[in-house]
Amino acid sequence: MKTKKSILIVFVLLISNYLMAQNSINIGGTFTSSQTVTSMQSYNLQGKTVSVSGRADFALNRGFVRILLSDDNGYDLLIYETTPLFANDGVDIFTSKATETINLSSAFTFTKVKVEIEKAQLTNLVINVSDNYTAPRLSDQK
């Protein structure tokens, strides 16, 4: 019985450490045009992973939604991109996606998250900054 209790305590500690190592930024509203959605200046992103979750709706069989991590010098890293090809009935609901924002290096200072949108809308956007890599790899994405 003592062994089961010890295992349970270790499991709870591991889960709580994981949850404390992740920051979530809930972005309210609906985005239908390209814009900056939040500042990341207060985050030290070195060695971290930035992933996103949300919903993209496409009215037509064309368009795109891109979510980018950017610096002030014009460099962008793709967090996630979706098109109608990835959507079911015009909707792509995505969770914990990170394309080029896994274990970020210290070579750049990323200051903002921005979206580029064409013929689509983006809602329920959540940006996660985590110490541990939790997002699916590009080869695992739809």
Record the tokens describing residue 73, joined without a space: 């010098």
Record the tokens describing residue 84, joined without a space: 């109608």
pLDDT of amino acid 80: 98
Any residues with CB less than 8 A from the CB of 114 and at least 6 apart, and which? 34, 35, 36, 37, 67, 68, 70, 76
- Name the pLDDT band for 138 (thresholds 50, 70, 90): low
Please determine, for residue 4, whether its predicted confidence score (pLDDT) is greater than 90: no
- pLDDT (mean) for 2-13: 49
Gap between the Cα atoms of 115 and 37, Å rounded: 7
Continuous H helices in 21-141: none
Gap between the Cα atoms of 60 and 133, Å rounded: 34
Give the side-chain half-sphere CA count within 13 A for 84: 11
pLDDT of amino acid 135: 47
Full set of structural domains in the chain with CATH? 24-140 (2.60.120)
pLDDT in tens, 113-122: 999 999 999 9
The residue type at 89: D
pLDDT in tens, 83-115: 999 999 999 999 999 999 999 988 778 999 999
pTM given for the model: 0.78
pLDDT of amino acid 34: 97
Q: Measured in whole angstroms, how far is the alpha carbon of residue 17 from the centre of its chain?
A: 20
Record the tokens describing residue 135, joined without a space: 């997002």
